[in-house]
Amino acid sequence: MQIEPSYLALVALVLALIASVVESDATLAVRIVARDQAALRRLFDRASGRVRAIALALLGHHGEADDVVQDTFLEVWRSIGSYDERRGSLDTWVSAIAHRRAVDRLRRRATRPLGDAIVADRASDAPDPQESVAGSEERKRVAAALSALGEDQRTAIELMYYRGLSQREAAEQLGVALGTFKSRVRAAMARLATLLEQPGAGTS
């Protein structure tokens, strides 16, 4: 049986494409450890949408969400050596950093004296009224995206990201297995990322 050269070329092309896309997390992490900026850009392209969705869900403000994205990947660049593939995927590790960074911002809001918070908010809003409008629109988009989730997924997000429960605590409160709860959270975050990346999502 003779195999056509064109078929062999097609197979070679497909295999090359697969190899270029399916790069193991460990390999990508090693490249970042070696200070390969192209590897960091690849991870950014892959994970930044989810990172921003996490920040938006927690903070409800696009400017702060962008800051969290920057903070997250700066930390990735600095601490990639601590990533352990045996404990989860690289995307999960990055998402955990993003969640921690966003929660830190929420805590700083909560501990700021009310008077200081009002002054800071007025100072930040006054120079650019469009920023305030954009922030309001972003909050509407986040709220609309959350409302588009199924009840189980929305409840999972609310328990973790708005009430501050751990995954284990939230699973116990709902009376479901921890693995089931984690699956709901992953599905919810993926869905939120998709919804929030759509132009005009949540607007009418």
pLDDT per position as a tens digit, 1-60: 554 555 556 655 554 444 444 467 888 888 888 888 889 999 999 889 889 988 888 888
- Whether 114 has a pLDDT exceeding 50, the answer reads no
The whole-number pLDDT of residue 156 equals: 84
Q: For the chain, what is the domain count?
A: 2
Distance CA 144, CA 152 (A): 16
Q: Decide which of 67 and 117 is more confident.
A: 67
Task: Name residue 157's amino acid.
Answer: I
- pLDDT-above-70 percentage for the chain: 67
The whole-number pLDDT of residue 138 equals: 64
Range of the domain at 131: 127-204
Residues 104 and 166 in one domain: no
The last residue of a domain, from among 80, 111, 142: 111
Q: What is the pLDDT of residues 55-101, one digit of tens each?
A: 888 888 888 888 999 999 999 999 998 888 888 889 889 999 999 99
Q: Tell me if 77 sits within 8 A of 40, measured CB to CB.
A: yes
Mean pLDDT of 101-120: 65
Task: Name residue 172's amino acid.
Answer: E
Say which CATH number the domain at 51 has: 1.10.1740.10
Mean pLDDT of 167-182: 87
Query: For residue 9, what is the enclosing H or E element?
Result: helix 5-21
Q: Tell me if 141 sits within 8 A of 201, measured CB to CB.
A: yes
Ranking 15-19, 77-81, 103-107, 187-191 by mean pLDDT, the lowest is 15-19
Determine whether 133 is exposed, middle or buried from the number of CB atoms within 10 Å of its CB (0-12, 13-18, 19+): exposed
Say which CATH number the domain at 173 has: 1.10.10.10
Structural domain includes residue 204 = yes
- Whether 173 has a pLDDT exceeding 90, the answer reads no
